[in-house]
Structure 1
Amino acid sequence: MIAYILRRVLQAALILLGVSVVTYALLYMLPADPARQIAGRSATAETVANIREQLGLNLPFYEQYLRYLGNLLQGDFGRSYLQKTEVGELIAARLPATLLLMAGAIFCELLLGLTAGAIGAIKRNTSVDRTLMVVSFVGVSAPQFVVGILMLYLFAVVLGWFPIGGYGTFSHLVLPSVSMGFLGAGWYSRMMRSSMLDVLRQDYVRTARAKGLGRARVFFVHAFPNALLPIIAMIGIDIGMFMSGIVVVESVFGWPGIGQLAWQAIQRVDIPIIMGVTLVSACAIVLGNLLADLVVPLIDPRIKLR
């Protein structure tokens, strides 16, 4: 286990290094000029040149990147060009809200997806099964911003059940969590249905039924845990999808997380914030996949870590 974790940590470090190089290179090639953004439209060419020199933007790409990487290894994400604040402090202030939203979204997608998939497997080829699969297909196909706007209009504006936006109470969390979880619920319901049907055809399930065990015991004790194995692997991958979709959802609902921070930074070409959010998101994806790999053997001892 220790050797496996050490190998994965080394792989994670290499992945994060690659992410930092690619992201920094893409930002370096942007036609926008951060120095001009900071100085303002009315600034003189001399003022812009001085700002560019102060920020080191006049250096070659490799020198800029090595300087950034050296600071990053010391825990310094840099300083926001426009907000004049340490990027690490900005991310730390916004991260709890994003983690709360992510937890709520994961709970919603698992609750809706696993329930729909299990019911679909039990009611196979019935009208209930077909209806659930159609809803799942809609969930997979619908863009998150469309789902978010529709839910905001229906449940906040028309019905008034939830606040239009903001942060701080449970009612503020419901709509953005369901909006983010609706897409994943569609995937999970289809995968859970397929996995459950496969498990229900296994010999040990037929043996359990032949022994006279009740239907509920066969389902929850023998079939359901084994059908969850591919689902657990998907949860780690889902974190990456959440980190990409969270920018849109947080912007729609005015949720003060790192997604909204990243969107504001993109609009202003605030490179240190964009880099910081990207690296934090990459760390979350790597950590999610590692935790998924470690949890699966605890559920199914037949799986060995290598």
Structure 2
Amino acid sequence: MTATVSADSTSDPKVAARQQGSEEPIDPGVAGRRRPSRNRVALRLLARRLLIAIPTIVLVSLGVFLVAGMSPFDPLTAHLGDRYQSATESQREAVREAYHLDQSWPSAWWDWCRNLMHGDLGWSATQSQPVADVIAARMPFTVGISLAALLAAAVISIILGAVIGMRRGGLVDRVCTGLAAVLAATPPFVVSLLLVSVFAVGLGAFPTSGARRPGDDYSVDGILTHAVLPFVALTVSMIPWLLLSMRAAVIDAVDSDAVRGARARGIGGIRLLRGHVAPMSVLPTLALLGTRLPELIAGAAIVETVFGWPGLAQALVDSAVALDFPLLASLAVGSAVLVLIGSALSDAAAVWIDPRIGLTA
């Protein structure tokens, strides 16, 4: 009887596996299909995004030239200014020929692409200098204040969103969500004007515009002093959607079975937030950063215009009004490239942190 039971038991692979200390025998087919590493998943996503980005950038550049070509603005008014009314027809025709204003938009697009292949961004008629020099001089101001505001908004929103999400329904949660809803409905230029009225005009604590005093050269102290109000305005305009997203993600994580199991094991407080809630909640906020980059660029343009910040916003407006194709195309396509890069990097970081989320393109 004993020998029979032993033979029957060992003939069952599951029983034999348990006798050897394992749960079930390993299926060779399953064992051969290993889950790809997180680095490989992230790199694969970046490669797919690159393939998608190339035709997207081409279409964006075509759209810029098409819309600019259909614009009702007469570029001569921007080039001649006050001399437009007094200029003769021959003078107007000379300006058109000098700046190629009579060129059709497909021809202008093709010339711009051809010059771009040779590393030449063209000549900006509105700024009277090469486009590369315009971007090189103004980009540090735009990128610097935008990245600083984005980093500050992300840190504030993640920390505060985690706190109010863990204690939803409390006084701090109601106050923060109410303020976030109000700020989300307030345009950035309104926030900027309020800051100017209170802190620049009323209190005189900060300069009203620019990045230096008239007649002075750029200095670190002058730039930082002038950057306070536009930095605050841009940060405040980005906090609401990040804060509310982080709060919602924390609430979903708190209600999950994993967190309930951790609480049942006696885990709570900071340990629960750091080890279980935060890893599940940061991913949606991280993915949101990439998708909201267009709003960051639009908000930066508005804030720069209100505060007279010497970034790329005013150059973009001038190029659009004057149909300055080389500068307009470079700034618009550059903004699209930044959005695509930011979205791809945020999604790649998300799948690197958690490959199970399944982003493929």
| TM-score normalised by L of structure 1 | 0.92
Does residue 1:14 correspond to 2:55, yes or no? yes
Q: Read off the aligned partner of 1:180 and give its amino acid letter.
A: L
Q: What is the 5 A alignment of 1:145-160? A: 145-160=189-204
Q: Deviations over 1:88-142 (max 9, x none)?
A: 1101111111111111211232233223322321221222221111100011000
Give, in angstroms, the shift of residue 36 of structure 1.
4.9
- Distance verdict in 2 for CA 1:124–1:20, change over 3 Å: same
Contact 1:110 1:188 in 2 (8 A): yes
Equivalent of 1:166 in 210, 226, 247: 210
- State the structure with more CA Rg: 2
Cα distance in 2 between the residues matched to 1:35 and 1:152: 34
Name the % identity: 32
Moved more, 235-244 or 259-268: 259-268
Equivalent of 2:75 in 14, 30, 34: 34
- Distance verdict in 2 for CA 1:138–1:36, change over 3 Å: closer
Contact 1:247 1:263 in 2 (8 A): no
Uncovered stretches (5+) of structure 1, i.e. residues with no partner = none
Residue 257 of structure 2 corresponds to 203
Residue 257 of structure 1 corresponds to 311
Cα distance in 2 between the residues matched to 1:87 and 1:35: 20
Cα distance in 1 between the residues matched to 2:324 and 2:103: 18
Q: What is the 5 A alignment of 1:85-104? A: 85-104=129-148
Give, in angstroms, the shift of residue 43 of structure 1.
2.1
Equivalent of 2:276 in 222, 226, 233: 222
- Distance verdict in 2 for CA 1:253–1:57, change over 3 Å: closer
Cα distance in 1 between the residues matched to 2:102 and 2:176: 57
Equivalent of 2:349 in 254, 272, 295: 295
Residue 143 of structure 1 corresponds to 187
Does residue 1:239 correspond to 2:288, yes or no? no
Cα distance in 1 between the residues matched to 2:329 and 2:255: 49
Contact 1:108 1:178 in 2 (8 A): no
Cα distance in 2 between the residues matched to 1:211 and 1:170: 50
Does residue 1:188 correspond to 2:242, yes or no? yes
Equivalent of 2:100 in 46, 51, 56: 56
Q: Read off the aligned partner of 2:318 and give its amino acid letter.
A: Q
Q: Read off the aligned partner of 1:162 and give its amino acid letter.
A: F
Give, in angstroms, the shift of residue 295 of structure 1.
0.6
Cα distance in 2 between the residues matched to 1:113 and 1:195: 12
> In angstroms, what is the RMSD of aligned CA positions?
2.0
SS at match of 2:313: helix
Cα distance in 2 between the residues matched to 1:70 and 1:91: 19
Give, in angstroms, the shift of residue 304 of structure 1.
4.5
Residue 338 of structure 2 corresponds to 284
Cα distance in 1 between the residues matched to 2:249 and 2:124: 47
Q: Read off the aligned partner of 2:50 and give its amino acid letter.
A: V
Moved more, 227-236 or 272-281: 272-281
Cα distance in 1 between the residues matched to 2:259 and 2:67: 53
SS at match of 1:188: helix
Q: Read off the aligned partner of 1:28 and give its amino acid letter.
A: G
Give, in angstroms, the shift of residue 69 of structure 1.
1.7
Q: Deviations over 1:250-296 (max 9, x none)?
A: 11122111113223334544333222211111111111011111111
SS at match of 1:302: helix
Cα distance in 2 between the residues matched to 1:148 and 1:109: 16
- Distance verdict in 2 for CA 1:3–1:219, change over 3 Å: closer
Give, in angstroms, the shift of residue 248 of structure 1.
1.2
Q: Read off the aligned partner of 1:263 and give its amino acid letter.
A: V
Cα distance in 1 between the residues matched to 2:110 and 2:93: 22
Contact 1:24 1:65 in 2 (8 A): yes
Q: Read off the aligned partner of 1:128 and give its amino acid letter.
A: V
Cα distance in 1 between the residues matched to 2:105 and 2:202: 52
SS at match of 2:79: helix
- Distance verdict in 2 for CA 1:55–1:10, change over 3 Å: farther
Cα distance in 2 between the residues matched to 1:243 and 1:225: 28
Uncovered stretches (5+) of structure 2, i.e. residues with no partner = 1-39, 212-219
Give, in angstroms, the shift of residue 70 of structure 1.
1.2
Contact 2:69 2:104 in 1 (8 A): no
Give, in angstroms, the shift of residue 199 of structure 1.
0.2
Cα distance in 1 between the residues matched to 2:47 and 2:268: 45
Does residue 1:76 correspond to 2:120, yes or no? yes
Aligned residues: 306
| TM-score normalised by L of structure 2 | 0.79
